[in-house]
Amino acid sequence: MTKAVLIITNMGPKASAPFQGQFVKNQVLALQQHQALAYFYMSWHNDSLLNKLLKYPVLFLQFFWSYILSFKSFDIIHVHFFYPTIWLALAYKYLRKPSVKIVVTCHGSDIYHYQPFGVLYRWCSRHVEQWIFTSEKLQTKAFTTVPKAVVLSAGIAQLYADATQFSRADKDIDLLYVGALDKNKGMDRLIALLPQLKDKTIYLVGTGPYQAQFEQLKKDYPNLQLEAGQSAEQLKALYQRSKCFLSLSRNESFGLVMTEAMACYTPVIATLTDGSAEQLGADSFWVIDQTDEQVLQQNLLKKIQQLLSLSDSDYTALQQSAHQHAKDCLVDDVAAKIQQLYQALCPEQRS
């Protein structure tokens, strides 16, 4: 009998972020090539105060109705974003099927935002049979009592496998950023850099608290372009057109957008985070320490100028190096490894 798997996440698309949770969906689609599975995500999702107050009670009630009060039976529940999503899996375990195996993929803020770990957080973690972390450093910051843990990329869409390498001369965007427009992602840092980058074409893709400010800044900086959420196909085109991708995050567990950019032969300049250290190397020339904010600003500008003025041969070598790393993070490969973890937890039984 083939094992039954349910994937649950507290993420889902909303009007202001239509592609939120897309990488989880990409994993689901890739895993469905191996087996049938169910997928439960936060479907009632918007930016209203009512939603912020009630989204988790509604999520739990939807889950209770759809899976605990149903005849569906699962052997494995795979939780994306550990806390508080883990409570859904535990409800199923205690109310429906004590033998169910729980797999958790940690995304970053489900660890960063809960330190020091409280009693309930630690208790929940004891019920996880298999942990998946997006970087080794993220794993070291987690609270786990079960040694079963692996480090896996979250996986980038398979369409990036056939990205085209553009020469720098054929790229019309100097600097590209993709992601949330918030402080953790370093948007205040980018704003501080704008006066020194007036001669560079800068493209921002995303939404968030800084969106209105960037809309105002476009009046003074005509070189600044701003777009909301884009599909993977649209992003692929933007990555290929860009000479450099910027990641200015204060905390970043992995940073799939860096991987996507590199898959499209676009070099990355990044602040030192768990994600950039994992992908570029903590000692990479293009990774910048963020201990001192003033020094960081100076180094960012210097690195940008250096990268954009590299010789053609050095720039091409950097493109090739980036692409070589990213090709190991395609979602089909990640899904195959996750499938192996499922198989180890619940070996298939012949009926």
What is the pLDDT, as a whole number, of residue 271?
96
- pLDDT at 171 > cutoff 90: yes
What is the pLDDT, as a whole number, of residue 21?
77
Q: What CATH architecture does domain 5-155+330-345 belong to?
A: 3-Layer(aba) Sandwich (3.40)
| Span 270-308, pLDDT tens digits | 999 988 988 888 788 999 999 999 999 999 999 999 999
CB neighbour list of residue 257: distance below 8 Å, 6 or more residues apart = 178, 179, 245, 247
Assigned CATH for 158-329:
3.40.50.2000
Handedness of CA 51, 54, 56, 58 (dihedral sign): negative
| Span 59-103, pLDDT tens digits | 999 999 999 999 889 999 999 999 999 999 999 999 999 999 999
Average pLDDT of 334-346?
92
Q: For the whole model, what pTM was predicted?
A: 0.83
CB neighbour class for 262 (10 Å; exposed up to 12, middle 13-18, buried from 19) = buried
- pLDDT at 253 > cutoff 90: no
What is the pLDDT, as a whole number, of residue 145?
61
- pLDDT at 240 > cutoff 70: yes
Of 228 and 78, the one with more pLDDT:
78
d(CA 179, CA 182): 9
Domain pair 5-155+330-345 / 158-329, same fold: yes
Contact 171, 315 (CB under 8 A): no
How many of the other CB atoms lie within 10 Å of CB of 116? 7
What is the pLDDT, as a whole number, of residue 280?
86
The residues spanned by each domain of the chain are: 5-155+330-345, 158-329
What is the pLDDT, as a whole number, of residue 2?
62
d(CA 5, CA 67): 12
- pLDDT at 9 > cutoff 80: yes
Contact 315, 267 (CB under 8 A): yes
What is the pLDDT, as a whole number, of residue 38?
95
What is the pLDDT, as a whole number, of residue 252?
85
What is the pLDDT, as a whole number, of residue 147?
63
Buried b (16+ CB within 10 A) or exposed e, 3-27: bbbbbbbbbbbbeebebbbbbbbbb
Of 254 and 69, the one with more pLDDT:
69
Name the least confident of 137-141, 162-166, 184-188, 191-195: 137-141
What is the pLDDT, as a whole number, of residue 217?
96
Average pLDDT along the chain: 91
Percent of the chain with pLDDT over 90: 69
What is the pLDDT, as a whole number, of residue 351?
42
Counting every residue written for the chain, the total comes to: 351
d(CA 313, CA 280): 20
d(CA 76, CA 17): 29
How many of the other CB atoms lie within 10 Å of CB of 232? 16
Q: Whose structure tokens read 């969906």?
A: 25
What is the pLDDT, as a whole number, of residue 266?
97
